[in-house]
Amino acid sequence: MIKTKIALFLVCLFTFFSNSLLAQEVIIELGPDEIGLNETFSIKVTITNDKIKSYDEFPDILGFQKQGISQSSSMNIINGQVSSTNSIIQYYKPNRKGEFTLERFSVKINGNNYSSPGKKISVVDPRSSQRQGVFDPFDDLFGRRDREEPEFIEIEDDAFFASSVDKNEVFVGEGFNVSLAFYMSETNQAPFQFYEPGRQLDEILKKMKPSKAWEENFNITNIQPERVTLNGKNWIKYKVYEATFFPFSDGEITIPPIAWEMIKYKVAKNPTFFGSNRLEDFKTFYSSAKTIKVKPLPQHPLRNEVSVGVFQLRENISQLNVQTGEGFTYNFSISGEGNINSISPPRTRQIHKLNTYDPNVRQQINRGMGKIRGSKEFNYYLTINEPGEVKLADHFEWIYFNPVLAKYDTLRPKAVVNVTGESKVNQAISKQRLGGIYDLIELESNKLSYQRYKYYFSLFINLLLVGSVILLAVLIMRRSNG
């Protein structure tokens, strides 16, 4: 019984290791040693019993140009046992005749590196009958090794890449929206796929971003299709970048022409059930340049300090009836469309009957529909020292420039506070620092100090004596000469 269990265990163990070794088989096949100038060389990587989930770039070959990548897969069932293979093929087209060397290289497949020793490649005159060293994975199974390779053709596309701006002219500090998107008509038949959009965007933004402007990035993380209509035609829009810029100075801002690369597949002229029916290729699209004119703000004492946008005031006060000296909170909130980050606190006028402390600040920014909207709240703690009716409009004001109306405007509170109780103005004054000479009273000594004046007096006497000696010497020299 024990011997039977041990034998069964060994059989299972052997089967496990056999399957593991089978699952990890990766083969790198290189094209023929000699090809014609009108033929292609290939590097083929085949993995058994697993899918190709990721792969690195294939090596460059001096004297050859990469032509594209194709993938194929197959499945075999022999004696009830299922095995599968997945292949990826990189094609190379020779640029000229001659002897070339494919150096030793490695390629990363599914996170693991696999190496090949390379080989010598001889490129000869074009051949009348093109034969390539790449074959369909099912050729051996069905005896089709000698069949011709499929011919791939490029389908005419109906697509373009564009940069868009929502305004051609703005004031200093006024926002304008910039977006980059790939457009494909609903009737387009050419197959496309995005090619490393993150890397491309990094390079584009280094050249595109204005240096003298504040950027509010919409942070697009997923490229989602959006149906739009342009000139009466339906398109699928894939937005890859969107931001609003707020210029710091007048002049012109130029969005340069932008190159955007897409994977565009060539398709087999005569599709078959077996093998790959499309070939990976690339196409670069170019957007046109855009220019935005930035106008200076009209003359105003605060034109270098004010915010620009369309704003409203929302105020909230904890109580409208208070006692003198009693503290209460007042919320001065500015909301609207514009550069929320640039909003500064309202201007205040300090008067003895009202005490204002530095506010707590909170802001919220919403990015959507091509606009930057939000609010900035200034939460004040106030005390009033004299009874009566106090209009907060006499104490707070916020000046801004409205680009829609092209004029300056001021937001003032509407709240009126009723204050009762005894006046505490004198008490408030006594708690304030008087400054100036009063600040020195506690610091200076109360002893008489005459040493300082003695020093200045001695210096004056010495200078007077030196001057007298010099004058006497001049008079003696004149008399001697006479």
Q: What is the mean pLDDT of residues 219-245?
A: 92
Residue 173 has pLDDT above 90, yes or no: yes
- 36 sits in the region (left: phi over 0; alpha: psi -120 to 50; else beta) called beta
Mean pLDDT computed over every residue of the chain: 82
Residue 443 has pLDDT above 90, yes or no: no
User: Measured between alpha carbons, how far is 16 from 229 in angstroms, rounded to an integer?
Assistant: 58
Q: What is the pLDDT of residues 139-150, one digit of tens each?
A: 444 444 445 566
Residue 71 has pLDDT above 90, yes or no: no
Residue 230 has pLDDT above 60, yes or no: yes
Q: How confident is the model at residue 159 (pLDDT cuts 50, 70, 90)?
A: very high
The whole model's pTM is what? Answer: 0.60
Cβ-Cβ contacts under 8 Å for 26 (sequence gap 6 or more): 45, 46, 47, 48, 109, 112, 114
Q: What is the mean pLDDT of residues 68-83?
A: 62
Q: What is the mean pLDDT of residues 48-71?
A: 80
- 39 sits in the region (left: phi over 0; alpha: psi -120 to 50; else beta) called beta
Q: Count the Cβ atoms, other than its own, within 10 Å of residue 82.
A: 9
pLDDT score of 13? 43
